[in-house]
Every structure is written in structure tokens, then in C-alpha cells.
Amino acid sequence: MKCPYCGFVESKVIDSRPTDEYSSIRRRRECLKCQKRFTTYEKLESISLVVIKKDQSRQQYDRDKVLKGIITACEKRPVSLADMEKIADDVESELYQSMTREIESTTIGEKVMEHLKNLDEVAYVRFASVYKRFENLDTFMAELQELINDK
């Protein structure tokens, strides 16, 4: 495994443990050259998912893209990175369990919003404002009113 700090290709595993209900393995490594530590994850290579975009184009599912959207929505909120990664993992797990290999981007967005709504309402509204492309204050207020009514 290549060290992210110095680029040396040899490292030793210091700690190894299962994560995500045994669907991956987290490994703490130490570079044999610079002695800095870093984390890697080992996952079973799975069947790829294809995302159908709003314009009907298709692209391969990218968990990192989903996580980046979640991190952006949770910026400056009291939400841990572990919670954000759990949402990304849960959404990905739900997508694979659906047994459908082509998934609409709207389905992914709705699943993320569902998880964010339960975690942090401000992060939910931030994500929804980008995902739903609020055109004006009225559509934004309608979403806020729906959030208040759901309580």
C-alpha cells in the first residue's frame, strides 16, 4: 500500500478490525520509511451500480460523491464524520439490497435526505436545497413547513 505522505510502497499493518457489520475491514498501517500512520479499508468488490441522471445519462455509482454531498450539507454542524460515513454506507447498502443495478439519482437523493432528516434538520435543509433546486423563497418555505409539520 502506497504511503499517502511520502509515497513509499511498503507499510506494515498495526491494527485490523471489521467495520460496517463485517462488510469491510479497517486497517491501520504504518509506513516503513517515514513511520507515519494511515488508514485503509478493504471491501469486497461488488457488482457495480449505474446511476440514471435527470437527463437520462448514465454513470457509475460513486460513494465518495454521495459522501461529499453529505459533508457539504453538514459543514459547521455538530455531526461527526463517522455519522456522515454511516449515512453514506447505509445508503449504499440500501441500494445494493434493492437488487436493481440501475438506480435513478433521485432515489439516491431521497435516501440521503431521509437519513439527514433524522440526524440534523439543518443539514437536511441544506442538502434538500441543492437536491430539490429550490427556485425561490416560496419553495424553500414550503419545504421548511413540511419539516415542521412532520414533527
Q: What single string gives the DSSP state of each residue in the chain?
A: ---TTT--S-EEEEEEEEETTTTEEEEEEEETTT--EEEEEEE---PPPEEE-TTS-EEE--HHHHHHHHHHHTTTSS--HHHHHHHHHHHHHHHHHTT-SEEEHHHHHHHHHHHHHHH-HHHHHHHHHHHTT--SHHHHHHHHHHHHHT-
Inform me whether the pLDDT recorded for 109 exceeds 80: yes
Q: Select the highest-mean-pLDDT range: 35-39, 48-52, 97-101, 134-138.
A: 35-39
Task: Check residue 133 and give its pLDDT.
Answer: 67
pLDDT band at 151 (very low <50, low <70, confident <90, very high): low
- Does this model's pTM top 0.75? My answer is no
Q: How far apart are the C-alpha atoms of 73 and 87, rounded to whole Å? A: 12
Identify whether the C-beta of residue 97 lies closer than 8 Å to the C-beta of residue 47. no
Grid cell, residue 108, equals 439516491
Q: Which has more pLDDT, 147 or 41?
A: 41
pLDDT tens, position by position, 110-144: 999 999 988 998 898 888 877 766 666 677 677 77
pLDDT band at 2 (very low <50, low <70, confident <90, very high): very high
Q: Select the highest-mean-pLDDT range: 21-25, 26-30, 43-47, 96-100.
A: 26-30
Q: Give the residue-averaged pLDDT of 78-82.
A: 93
pLDDT band at 53 (very low <50, low <70, confident <90, very high): very high
pLDDT band at 23 (very low <50, low <70, confident <90, very high): confident
Q: How far apart are the C-alpha atoms of 77 and 145, rounded to whole Å? A: 21
Of 101, 108, 113, nearest to 53 by C-alpha is 108
Q: Give the residue-averaged pLDDT of 47-68.
A: 91
Q: How far apart are the C-alpha atoms of 70 and 83, rounded to whole Å? A: 10
Grid cell, residue 1, equals 500500500
Inform me whether the pLDDT recorded for 28 exceeds 70: yes
> Which residues does residue 39 pair with via DSSP β-bridges, in sequence order?
28
